[in-house]
Amino acid sequence: METILKPADKEDIIKSFEEFTNQPDYWKGLDEIAVSTGSTATEIHNVIVSLDEFVENKEGKYTTRDLYEKRTPFLVKMFNAWKGEIA
């Protein structure tokens, strides 16, 4: 039986992060997001890089800008910005 993947969209990707809002690690790789949304990692990447609502860390994992702002301590955000580790 062939698996049918649906196209990724912004709302599906953002919703996939909701399950991680109360966990210490709120960063997800493309494969994790793809499994949560039923899309491919390539589609997820294409959507994420076209929007300003996601941030990427130096390990290539993503989170929503909203989660990053809420969950990351100020000094860590300042240090990450200074080192250029968050895109």
User: Above 50 in pLDDT, residue 1?
Assistant: no
Query: Does 16 reside within a domain?
Result: yes
pLDDT digits (tens, 9 = 90+) for 37-64: 888 999 999 999 988 999 999 899 999 9
Nearest to 32 by CA among 81, 23, 69, 85: 23
Residues 6+ apart with CB under 8 A from 36: 16, 19, 28
Give the residue, 27 or 18, on which the prediction is more confident. 27
Query: Does 75 reside within a domain?
Result: yes
- Which pLDDT value is given to residue 21? 67
Query: Does 4 reside within a domain?
Result: no
CATH code for the domain of 71:
1.10.10
pLDDT digits (tens, 9 = 90+) for 21-40: 677 788 999 999 998 888 89
- Which pLDDT value is given to residue 3? 46
The predicted model scores a pTM of 0.78
CA-based end-to-end distance of the chain: 39
Domain containing 49 equals 10-83
